[in-house]
């Protein structure tokens, strides 16, 4: 069942998604060699609580963190831990914030220190595939158009698309209908309508698309242990226009200030 949101609900979605975007901006300040992923997690948790939100992943079906941590070959749903980030890693931080009963969801994959050009290209192409997915996400289009835009771009650049994990509708629940896959055929799937809120989140692998789930029941990594990247935006369809409710501007401002 797809819940179409009212204007008032979309206003609440804006606030939750702004807070999750700001949270990733705080995390960005700490991503560096020598920092543990537990540290990133506590930065995120404290920032969310200080701003009146609830870390929605924490305790969700038993998930142990505020952030999902995705180092190198980890695709999605990794645990924060005492792992110390190393120069050359990439680390995805996926976060869901609930604020006033509505959820914001976003993910950014960061380079840690100096990172190999090949990994930077994987990150860049994955982020561009997200942008193309967002662009295809228009009133009157279908979910398959979004999926196809992501898949076509990622595969044209020599990468593969994870099949088992998808984007999703979002609102009062972190995961609502419809599913938003990152692969599929144009003109298929649910029609995109005013009032829909959707999280689009390509997970793109450098090697094969196959994944395995570790014995912790959560951590999803590539089967071939080659790296994977993940970016996520949440959008709303309002009066025939697609509004991107999350922004990477907080993260990117931090990354820019650092590189000076």
Of 26, 73, 105, 145, the one binding Co ion by CB under 5 A:
105
Buried b (16+ CB within 10 A) or exposed e, 32-45: eeebbbbbbbebbb
**Region 54-83 residues binding ligand MF3, contact defined as CB under 6 A:** 57, 60, 63, 68, 77
Instruction: Kindly state the tokens that stand for 56.
Output: 């929605």
When the beta carbons of 9 and 201 are compared against ligand MF3, the nearer one is: 201
When the beta carbons of 108 and 153 are compared against ligand MF3, the nearer one is: 108
Does 27 contact ligand MF3 by CB under 6 A? no
Contacts of 162 (CB under 8 A, 6+ apart): 75, 76, 182, 203, 204, 205, 209, 211, 228
Does 103 contact Co ion by CB under 5 A? no
Reference 151, options 167, 135, 129; nearest CA is 129
- Partners of 232 in the β-ladder: 107
Reference 234, options 153, 171, 181; nearest CA is 171
Picked from ligand MF3, Co ion, none, the partner binding residue 73 (CB below 5 to 8 A depending on kind) is: none
Does 199 contact Co ion by CB under 5 A? yes
Q: How far is the CB of 243 from ligand MF3 (least distance, A)?
A: 19
Calpha distance 3→170 (Å, rounded) = 9
For ligand MF3, what does the binding mask look like between residues 186 and 225, x meaning CB under 6 A? ---------------x------------------------
- SS3 percent helix, strand, coil of the chain, rounded to 5, is 30, 25, 40
Q: How far is the CB of 230 from ligand MF3 (least distance, A)?
A: 9
When the beta carbons of 60 and 135 are compared against ligand MF3, the nearer one is: 60
Binding site for Co ion (CB under 5 A): 105, 199, 201
């Amino acid at each position: 069942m797809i819940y179409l949101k009212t204007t008032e609900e979309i206003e609440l979605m804006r606030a939750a998604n702004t807070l999750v975007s700001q949270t990733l901006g705080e995390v960005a300040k700490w991503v560096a060699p020598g920092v543990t992923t537990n540290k990133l997690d506590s930065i995120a948790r404290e920032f969310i609580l200080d701003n009146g939100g609830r870390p929605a992943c924490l305790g969700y079906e038993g998930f142990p963190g505020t952030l999902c941590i995705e180092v190198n070959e980890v695709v999605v749903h990794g645990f924060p831990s005492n792992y110390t980030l190393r120069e050359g890693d990439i680390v995805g931080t996926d976060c869901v914030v609930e604020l006033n009963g509505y959820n914001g969801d976003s993910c950014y994959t960061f380079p840690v220190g100096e990172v190999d050009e090949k990994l930077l290209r994987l990150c860049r192409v994955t982020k561009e595939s997200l942008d193309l997915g967002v662009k295809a996400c228009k009133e009157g289009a279908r979910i398959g158009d979004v999926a196809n835009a992501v898949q076509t771009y990622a595969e044209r650049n020599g990468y593969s698309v994870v099949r088992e994990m998808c984007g999703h509708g979002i609102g009062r629940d972190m995961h609502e209908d419809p599913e938003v896959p990152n692969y599929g055929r144009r003109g298929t799937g649910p029609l995109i309508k005013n009032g829909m809120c959707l999280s689009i989140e390509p997970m793109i692998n450098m090697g094969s698309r196959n994944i395995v789930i570790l014995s912790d029941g959560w951590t999803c990594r590539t089967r071939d242990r080659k790296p994977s990247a993940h970016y996520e935006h949440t959008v709303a369809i309002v009066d025939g226009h697609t509004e991107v409710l999350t922004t990477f501007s907080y993260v990117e401002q931090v990354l820019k200030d650092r590189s000076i």
